[in-house]
């Protein structure tokens, strides 16, 4: 059977396809440099796939070279990035690059220089449209790209040069994603070769904090009471831990061998205590001018614990607070985390992952119902098996070695209905999780929830909403 194509349809095919191809040659579609948060990590081989996925060709190559020595960046210091694409049989070349914070791969790290219009490079902003918009990017646009503009011709090779200014403040490690095309200039995506590169840059800057930090107090990070225990999460208050207004949250771009860093944004904390033969550096989760969130190490028994906060640690310009001595180390210091500005326990439905809270406390929150399995979160509950080193991300199911009693609304939860009690999988090893079945006879409303361990109870006044 012969299939006829209408004149209108034929016209659309003739004029739409070349214009689309021409548009990609002038400016490629945004989000195809290979960043995992863009189109699920897609790259230019999404269209240019005659020879399979990117890097299937072993004849051509892509080199990404940095003007700094080694794979480092210095905060606020511009550098040149060279993208060299080679393929002896190719005559036209293109590329796209983005640099992202490892701590949040949706955020661009730093800014690319805006090239003059007569150069083959340009900078575009990911504004939600196919080809993006011209830089500079508005503050609400999280990512930007450097890419070709009017894909240039070359005799088997072409070098693109991009100026990049890293963030003024260090942001941990950053990832550089580049996708490049070595094309045959036949106005189709056929017969072209695609190469990709992904590299990590470390912070190569030096610490230059100038004020001596002052320690004020250390408290349990959940209850804000002075008592803490081995491995518990703690909050340190003071001044001059960072420059004023600076806040830094640790994330994947800071992890060292699967553990939180012991130095974050040029600040560190050392403690001594029972069972420690020498000072131990604490894993740090958060640092600001007046607050540090960290995790205590494993102590042996109880006794005095000393704390010292140091800025610019490990350098000739290190400045340390006076040593503080604490007498609040306990075998157990159980405490629930609560949602901000409330007494509502940090909880979620263990099956649906819906937040368990009054909507006035957390938008979208919902009350628990009898029979629901809820996950409650806290710190200071003591030993687990297998043991997990402080600062590590718990990869498995490390369960409490000591028995607990859970009461909700005054009703004791049967031991069989405490489905899990241990470290929260995938989280820092000081965070504990309890999966508990809400009793069928629990009262309604905002009812108290308590966990007892070793004769010590979680803080009073913490509630969970039950409908």
The angle formed by the CA atoms of residues 209, 287 and 463, to the nearest 5 degrees, is 160
Q: Is the pLDDT of residue 9 over 50?
A: no
246-272 mean pLDDT: 96
**140 Cβ neighbours under 8 A, 6+ residues apart:** none
What pLDDT was estimated at residue 15?
37
Residues 213-227: tens digit of each pLDDT = 999 999 999 999 999
**Does 456 have pLDDT greater than 60?**
yes
Tell me the C-alpha distance between 97 and 101, whole Å: 14
Separation of alpha carbons 247 and 350, rounded Å: 31
Beta carbons of 289 and 239 less than 8 angstroms apart: yes
- Structure confidence at residue 4 (pLDDT): 39
Which two three-digit tokens encode residue 295? 């995790």
Contact 296, 251 (CB under 8 A): no
pLDDT digits (tens, 9 = 90+) for 143-192: 999 999 988 999 999 999 999 999 999 999 999 999 999 999 988 899 99
| pLDDT given for residue 431 in this prediction | 97
- 230-247 mean pLDDT: 97
Q: What is the mean pLDDT of residues 296-320?
A: 95
> Which are the contacts of 186, defined by CB distance < 8 A and separation ≥ 6?
none
Residues pairing with 111 in the sheet:
165
Half-sphere exposure of 405 (CA within 13 A, CB side): 9
Can you list the positions of beta strands (E) in 149-303?
157-165, 174-183, 193-203, 214-220, 233-239, 247-249, 267-272, 280-281, 284-288, 291-295
| pLDDT computed for residue 11 by the predictor | 38
Beta bridge partners of 326: 305
Residue 346: predicted pLDDT: 97
Q: Are 95 and 147 in contact (CB under 8 A)?
A: yes
How large is the average pLDDT for residues 414-430?
Answer: 96
Q: What is the pLDDT of residue 187?
A: 84
Instruction: For residues 426-450, give the mean pLDDT.
Output: 97
- Asked if the model's pLDDT at residue 50 lies above 90, the reply is yes
pLDDT for 23: 54
Cα separation of 147 and 157, whole Å? 16
Structure letter (DSSP) for residue 4: P
Q: Is 293 helix (H, G, I), strand (E, B) or coil?
A: strand
Distances (CA, A) of 363 to 6, 132, 441: 54, 32, 27
pLDDT band for position 3 (50/70/90)? very low
pTM score > 0.85 for this model?
Answer: yes
Structural domains of the chain, ranges and CATH numbers in brackets: 23-203 (2.60.40.10), 214-326 (2.60.40.10), 335-466 (2.60.40)
Q: Is 387 within 8 Å of 398 (Cβ atoms)?
A: yes
174 vs 327: CA distance, rounded Å? 41
% of the chain surpassing 70 pLDDT: 94
State the average pLDDT for the chain: 92
pLDDT of residue 22: 44
The answer to whether the beta carbons of residues 200 and 221 sit under 8 Å apart is no
Rounded-to-integer distance, Cα 190 and Cα 49, Å = 7
pLDDT tens sequence across 339-379: 999 999 999 999 999 999 999 999 999 999 999 999 999 99
Mean pLDDT of 295-322: 95
Give 79-138 pLDDT, tens digit per residue. 999 999 999 999 999 999 999 999 999 999 999 987 666 689 999 999 999 999 999 898
Please tell me the distance from the alpha carbon of residue 273 to that of residue 275, in angstroms, as a whole number. Answer: 6
Instruction: Using the predicted structure, report yes or no on whether residue 20 has a pLDDT greater than 90.
Output: no
CB atoms under 10 Å from CB of 463, counted, come to 20
Mean pLDDT of 8-17: 38
User: What is the tens place of the pLDDT at every residue in 188-209?
Assistant: 899 999 999 999 999 999 999 9
For range 285-291, the mean pLDDT: 98
Q: Which residue has the tokens 């017969």?
A: 191
Q: Is 350 exposed, middle or buried (0-12, 13-18, 19+ CB in 10 A)?
A: buried
Given this model, what pLDDT does residue 68 score?
A: 83
Judge whether 453 and 382 are in contact, CB under 8 Å. yes
Pull the structure tokens for residue 342: 């409330």
For residue 67, give Cα distances in angstroms to 88, 95, 316, 334, 457. Answer: 26, 19, 27, 51, 58
On the question of pLDDT at 274 being above 90, the answer is yes
Report yes or no: 419 and 395 within 8 Å, Cβ to Cβ. no
**pLDDT of amino acid 410:** 97
> Which residues 6+ apart lie within 8 Å of 456 measured at CB?
330, 331, 332, 333, 334
Per-residue pLDDT of 24-40, as tens digits, reads 777 899 999 999 999 99
């Amino acid at each position: 059977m012969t299939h006829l194509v209408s004149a209108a349809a034929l016209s659309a095919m003739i004029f739409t396809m070349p214009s689309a191809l021409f548009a990609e040659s002038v400016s490629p579609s945004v989000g195809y440099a290979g960043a995992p948060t863009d189109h699920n990590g897609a790259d230019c081989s999404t269209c240019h796939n005659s020879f399979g996925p990117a890097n299937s060709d072993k004849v051509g190559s892509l080199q990404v070279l940095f003007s700094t020595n080694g794979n480092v960046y210095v905060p606020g210091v511009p550098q040149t990035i060279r993208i060299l694409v080679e393929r002896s049989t190719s005559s036209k070349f293109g590329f796209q690059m983005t640099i992202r914070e490892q701590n949040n791969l949706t955020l661009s790290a730093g800014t690319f220089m805006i090239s003059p219009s007569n150069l083959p490079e340009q900078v575009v902003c990911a504004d939600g449209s196919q080809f993006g918009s011209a830089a500079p990017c508005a503050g609400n646009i999280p990512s930007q790209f450097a890419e070709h503009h009017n894909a240039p011709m070359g005799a088997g090779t072409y070098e693109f040069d991009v100026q990049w200014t890293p963030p003024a403040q260090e942001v941990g490690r950053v990832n550089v994603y580049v996708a490049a095309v070595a094309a045959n200039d036949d106005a189709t995506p056929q017969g072209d070769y695609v190469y990709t590169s992904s590299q990590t840059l470390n912070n190569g800057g030096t610490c230059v904090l100038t004020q001596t930090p002052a320690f004020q107090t250390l408290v349990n990070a959940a209850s804000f009471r002075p008592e803490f225990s081995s491995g518990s999460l703690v909050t340190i208050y003071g001044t001059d831990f960072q420059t004023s207004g600076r806040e830094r949250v640790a994330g994947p771009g800071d992890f060292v061998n699967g553990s939180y860093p012991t130095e974050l944004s040029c600040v560190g904390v050392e403690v001594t205590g029972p069972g420690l033969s020498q000072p131990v550096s604490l894993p740090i989760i958060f640092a600001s001018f007046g607050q540090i969130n960290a995790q205590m190490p494993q102590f042996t028994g109880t006794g005095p614990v000393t704390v010292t906060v140091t800025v610019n640690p490990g350098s000739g310009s290190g400045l340390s607070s006076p040593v503080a001595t604490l007498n609040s180390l306990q075998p157990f210091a159980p405490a629930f985390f609560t949602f901000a500005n409330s007494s509502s326990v940090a909880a979620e439905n263990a099956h649906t992952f819906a937040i368990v809270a009054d909507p006035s406390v957390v938008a979208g929150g919902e009350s628990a119902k009898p029979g629901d399995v809820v996950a409650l979160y806290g710190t200071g509950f003591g030993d687990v098996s297998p043991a997990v080193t402080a600062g590590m991300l718990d990869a498995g199911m490390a369960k409490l070695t000591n028995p607990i009693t859970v009461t909700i609304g005054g009703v004791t939860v049967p031991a069989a209905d405490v489905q899990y009690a241990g470290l929260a999988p995938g989280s820092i090893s000081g965070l504990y999780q309890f999966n508990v079945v809400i009793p069928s006879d629990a009262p309604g409303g905002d009812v108290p929830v308590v966990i007892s361990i070793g004769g010590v109870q979680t803080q009073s006044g913490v509630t969970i909403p039950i409908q």
